[in-house]
Amino acid sequence: MDRVAAWLHEKNPGLDGPIDADEDLVEARLIDSMDFLEFVDLLEEISGTSIDLQEATIDDFRTLARVRERFLSAAG
Amino acid sequence: MSTTSATALPDGGLKNPGAGLVTLDPVHTALLRGLDDLLAGLAARHGAPEVTGPPLLAAEGLARLDYFRNFPHLGVGAGTFAPESLDGLAGGEPPAGLPLRPTGHLLPSATCYGLLLSLEDRDVGEDGLRLSATGRCFRNETHYDGLRRLWGFHMREVLYLGTKEGALEHLEQGAAFVRETAGRLGLDLTRATADDPFYDRGGSRARLMALDPVKHEFSAPDGTAIASVNRHRNFFGERLGIRAGSHGPAYSACVAFGVERWVHAMILAHGSAERALDRLRAAARPA
């Protein structure tokens, strides 16, 4: 999860402190829509599996807790 | 003194200037005005003051809103003839084919852009702000189709800026107003999620929008979308430094009406412009 948090901080330089596991990353636009596919790429790279956006829902990307559970649990 | 001869249109009516362009006759104009007045009821109901947006928008301002990343194909630019062309033009040379110099400005493609840009670095306060305007909007399209798809058209918008909850409430109120108004006018509308006309339909923004629709449209039975409710999250608030008091960057949302498309939907529903106008006048009468 460190790489995910680092990516979010890199994209949001004004962000102070850690990001809450339940913070709504989409609604607060910590993941800007222009960067969304880059975020998906990052998750694919970390997890080593491809993500089918036809199968996913927006809630799968909404919080760090959900991202961990949905995509990164196997990667630890 | 009779004025009849001066008010009657000539045989054949008013000519249309070309594809995507239209001159509205008196009945269609009465429909357009009357429908816009009725749609302005959403603004009146929620205390949104009426303003008038600027007729041109700075390209630099639009670039900050990612306008060109999203819709480079839609923009209709404002140009001036180069100084070296002026003598020829004044001497009767045809203007077609002469180069135009960019002015750095575009005609608006949506009413809310001019309002949002006018709020840059402002604080809309803890309670937020609503504004409403009708503007003439322009979009380059690949084809034009009567009143359904025009090069230039009128767009009425009711814009909200404030909190996340306030933005959602604005859209719910807007959607209820659309349904209620359609009912009064005898229009049968279908609501569905919608996509903005992104240039890059496989791009990041379009893909996220497919997962999390931020736009819903209300369409007439022939598929013409005549109203939409749109949420922007805090995108414009962040990009333009618009704050909502202690809440930080403002969340925004707008309810938009394509007024010529309402005219089209009324004629579709009631059979002719005259019958549509009768129905509109009946609906606009206080109960």
The chain B residue lying nearest A12, using CA atoms, is B238
For residue B57, the model assigns a pLDDT of 98
Q: For residue A27, which residues of chain B lie inside 8 Å, CB to CB? A: 164, 233
Tokens 């001869």, residue located: B5
Looking at A28-37, B5-14, B210-219, which range is the least confident one? Answer: B5-14
Domain count for chain B, please give it. Answer: 1
Amino acid in the structure at residue B248: G
Which parts of chain A fold into alpha helices (H)?
2-11, 36-47, 64-67
Q: What is the DSSP letter of B186?
A: T
Which parts of chain B fold into alpha helices (H)?
4-7, 26-39, 41-45, 59-64, 67-70, 83-90, 111-117, 164-185, 204-211, 235-240, 259-270, 273-284
- The complex scores an ipTM of 0.88
Q: What is the CATH number of the domain that holds A35?
A: 1.10.1200.10
Domain count for chain A, please give it. Answer: 1
A29–B66 CB contact, under 8 Å: no
Query: CB-based contact (8 Å) between B210 and chain A?
Result: yes
- Report DSSP letters for B141-165, one per residue: -S--BTTTB-SEEEEEEEEEEE-HH
Give B141-172 pLDDT, tens digit per residue. Answer: 999 999 999 999 999 999 999 999 999 999 99
Query: CB-based contact (8 Å) between B63 and chain A?
Result: no
Which residue in A33, A38, A61 has the most chain B C-beta atoms within 10 A of its own C-beta, making it the best mutation to test that interface? A33
Whether B17 is in a domain gets the answer no
Q: Which one of B204, B234, B235 has the shortest CB-CB distance to A37? A: B204
Residue B198 predicted with pLDDT over 90: no
The chain A residue lying nearest B232, using CA atoms, is A27
Looking at A23-37, B126-140, B192-206, B226-240, which range is the least confident one? Answer: B192-206
For residue B201, the model assigns a pLDDT of 82
Range of the domain at A30: 2-13+20-72
Tokens 């330089």, residue located: A13
Residue A34: count other Cβ atoms within 10 Å of its Cβ: 15
Non-local (6+) Cβ contacts of A50 within 8 A are A44
User: Cα dist. B232→A23, A27, B254, B279 in Å?
Assistant: 18, 9, 8, 35
* Mean predicted lDDT score pLDDT of chain B: 95
Whether B216 is in a domain gets the answer yes
Give B49-99 pLDDT, tens digit per residue. Answer: 999 999 999 999 999 999 999 999 999 999 999 999 999 999 999 999 898
Give A39-74 pLDDT, tens digit per residue. Answer: 999 999 999 999 999 999 999 999 999 999 999 986
For residue B203, the model assigns a pLDDT of 87
Q: What is the CATH number of the domain that holds B235?
A: 3.30.930.10
Residue B48 predicted with pLDDT over 80: yes
Q: What are phi and psi of B45, to 5 degrees?
A: -60, -35
For residue A76, the model assigns a pLDDT of 45
**Burial of B27 per CB tally in 10 Å (0-12, 13-18, 19+):** middle
For residue B287, the model assigns a pLDDT of 65
Whether B13 is in a domain gets the answer no
For residue B153, the model assigns a pLDDT of 98
